[in-house]
């Protein structure tokens, strides 16, 4: 019998095209997702060298980062540079014959929401995209990670990547989550514990009862932020929840082929006795609704806590915290629930799926946002938006005073017109609280959709458990 393997080992082994003596491998890529920001130089590279896209049928493109989320964007994009990038993707998709969802297509949305929704992402696959949040697709038990533009060009030309294998890391969340605690709180709590470099050089497998109990949407939220913990990718072994989600999707296999796929997918789990290089275990019951207070995703605390002081830290982090608190305009000892918020953003590849919108809508139903609050819901795809409208969720948000937008990355990274002004403070369901991320001098607090909704109502960071 062969040595016990981790889930990562199994997917890796199934995709090695060749291996050099020093362990450098050529890894086959099953799905290549493409968006407008990190691809133009790659297509330009192909043109300059006269190369083609090797597997256009495995390459899927959608504009998401730059697109406005307001009506009329299908006619005209005001910002010239954004328009040029979107037009470049239109042209590249056409010229190279790859799958494409333009803004006029209801299936358009954030690339990491569109891929799973359309059944492009399947268990056991290798999935890459010129975007660090490609880790999202790991929720299906797919090995999925972000790549740079040179690698985008490499995958376009060869359908492979030059890779060395990462180490195995296990993150186990045992037991059950308490009410008001979500997948977002899990993933932030893990980063709070391990730090933004805690996963560097590793592929994380998330496991344990609390992970198993999550829906596919929740699992995608967890894996999405694996990169924020420094990991190359995050993975969750596929199970009935996964298979039920995949079954019937437009590009998922059908009939006998689905059954054949299913029998392989069912072998995709970590064998008993397989060895992990690093193990982190958290009790699900110990996780509280959390919020970030600083400018790194590792700056996480339970909502019941107070703003820390630089002296609470050691090494280079002391100066970083001093800088963060100054940037964020916070004082050590201040209660997190006393922090006033003027903007709420619900959306992104982390929390822009239907379940996220349902959860937030449940909090705001029948209520009004705080007067003067700018609150925005940006569905992750045109189909999520449509479904939310069908379910009456859109109306709940609109009645509460939220703006109901078209699909895109929006204020998660503020490349389109959805940005924070200087010193504006946002409760955001996105994934990064870096300086300037949501707008120059803008201040970001990362939270779950429920916590964002609660903050929109009260005007300050709020413990959602008081509302449920």
Could you list the residues known to form a binding site, using ranges.
Answer: 349, 409, 412
Cβ at position 158, least distance to other proteins in Å: 5
Residue 101 interacts with other proteins (CB under 8 A): yes or no = no
Cβ at position 311, least distance to other proteins in Å: 16
Cα–Cα dist 275/280, whole Å? 13
Candidates 9, 64, 131, 205; binder of other proteins (CB under 8 A) is 131
Under DSSP, is residue 281 helix (H, G, I), strand (E, B) or coil? Answer: strand
Angle at 320 between CA 315 and CA 326, to 5 degrees: 140
Residue 165 interacts with other proteins (CB under 8 A): yes or no = no
Nearer to other proteins, 158 or 387 (CB): 158
Q: Cα 256 from chain centroid?
A: 32
Candidates 63, 124, 192, 347; binder of other proteins (CB under 8 A) is 124
Annotated binding-site positions for [4Fe-4S] cluster: 349, 409, 412
Cβ at position 232, least distance to other proteins in Å: 5
Residue 153 interacts with other proteins (CB under 8 A): yes or no = yes
Residue 99 interacts with other proteins (CB under 8 A): yes or no = no
Q: Which stretch binds other proteins (CB under 8 A): 178-186, 312-320, 351-359, 383-391?
A: 312-320
Residue 112 interacts with other proteins (CB under 8 A): yes or no = no
Cα–Cα dist 18/31, whole Å? 19
Candidates 106, 162, 275, 340; binder of other proteins (CB under 8 A) is 162
Under DSSP, is residue 58 helix (H, G, I), strand (E, B) or coil? Answer: helix
Report which of 148, 180, 375, 153 is spatially closest to residue 285, judged by C-alpha positions.
180
Residue 122 interacts with other proteins (CB under 8 A): yes or no = yes
Strands (E), 319-399: 343-347, 374-378
Site for other proteins in 188-247 (CB under 8 A): 196-197, 200-201, 227, 230, 232
Cα–Cα dist 124/250, whole Å? 18
Whose tokens are 């389109």? That residue is 416
Cβ at position 428, least distance to other proteins in Å: 14
Candidates 4, 72, 97, 148; binder of other proteins (CB under 8 A) is 148
Residue 434 interacts with other proteins (CB under 8 A): yes or no = yes
Give every strand in the sheet of 126-129, ordered side by side: 99-100, 59-61, 31-34, 126-129, 143-146
Residue 445 interacts with other proteins (CB under 8 A): yes or no = no
Residue 300 interacts with other proteins (CB under 8 A): yes or no = no
Candidates 58, 73, 137, 170; binder of other proteins (CB under 8 A) is 58
Residue 137 interacts with other proteins (CB under 8 A): yes or no = no
Q: Long-range contacts: 260-269, Cβ < 8 Å, 24+?
A: 261/122, 261/123, 264/124, 265/122, 265/123, 265/124, 265/141, 265/238, 266/238, 267/10, 268/7, 268/10, 268/11, 268/123, 268/124, 268/141, 268/237, 268/238, 269/7, 269/237
């Amino acid at each position: 019998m062969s040595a016990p393997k981790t889930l990562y080992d199994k997917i890796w082994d199934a995709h090695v095209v060749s291996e050099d003596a020093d362990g450098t491998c050529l890894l086959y890529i099953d799905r290549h997702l493409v968006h407008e920001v990190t691809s133009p130089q790659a297509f330009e590279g192909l043109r300059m060298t006269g190369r083609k896209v090797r597997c256009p049928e495995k390459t899927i493109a959608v504009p998401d980062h730059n697109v406005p989320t307001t009506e009329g964007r299908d006619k005209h994009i005001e910002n010239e540079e954004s328009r040029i990038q979107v037009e470049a993707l239109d042209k590249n998709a056409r010229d190279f014959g790859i799958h494409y969802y333009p803004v006029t297509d209801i299936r358009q949305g954030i690339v990491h929401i569109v891929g799973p929704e359309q059944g492009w992402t399947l268990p056991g696959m290798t999935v890459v995209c010129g975007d660090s949040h490609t880790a999202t697709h790991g929720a299906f038990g797919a090995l999925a990670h972000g790549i740079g533009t040179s690698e985008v060009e490499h995958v376009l030309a060869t359908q492979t990547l030059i890779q060395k294998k990462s180490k195995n890391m296990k993150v186990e969340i045992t037991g059950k989550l308490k009410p008001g605690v979500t997948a977002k709180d899990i993933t932030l709590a893990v980063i709070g514990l391990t730090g933004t470099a805690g996963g560097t050089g590793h592929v994380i497998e998330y496991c344990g009862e609390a992970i198993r109990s999550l829906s596919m949407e929740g699992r995608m939220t967890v894996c999405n932020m694996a990169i924020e913990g420094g990991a190359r990718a995050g993975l969750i072994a596929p199970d009935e929840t996964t298979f039920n989600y995949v079954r019937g999707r437009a590009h998922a296999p059908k009939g006998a082929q689905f059954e054949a796929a299913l029998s392989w997918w069912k072998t995709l789990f970590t064998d008993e006795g397989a060895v992990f290089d690093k193990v982190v275990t958290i009790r699900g019951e110990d996780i509280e609704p959390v919020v970030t207070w600083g400018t790194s995703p590792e700056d996480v605390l339970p909502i019941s806590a107070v703003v820390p002081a630089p002296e609470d830290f050691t090494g280079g982090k002391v100066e970083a915290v001093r800088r963060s608190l100054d940037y964020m305009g916070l004082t050590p000892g201040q209660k997190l629930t006393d922090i006033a918020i003027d903007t709420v953003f619900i959306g992104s590849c982390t929390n822009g799926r239907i379940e996220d919108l349902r959860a937030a809508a449940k909090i705001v139903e029948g209520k009004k946002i705080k007067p003067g609050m700018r609150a925005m819901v940006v569905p992750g795809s045109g189909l999520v938006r449509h479904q939310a409208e069908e379910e009456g969720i859109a109306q709940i948000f609109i009645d509460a005073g939220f703006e109901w937008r078209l699909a895109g990355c929006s204020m998660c990274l503020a490349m389109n017109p959805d940005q924070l002004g200087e010193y504006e403070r946002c409760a955001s369901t996105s994934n990064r609280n870096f300086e300037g991320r949501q707008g120059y001098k803008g201040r970001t607090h990362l939270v779950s959709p429920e916590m964002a909704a609660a903050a929109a109502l009260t005007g300050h960071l709020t413990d959602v458990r008081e509302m449920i």
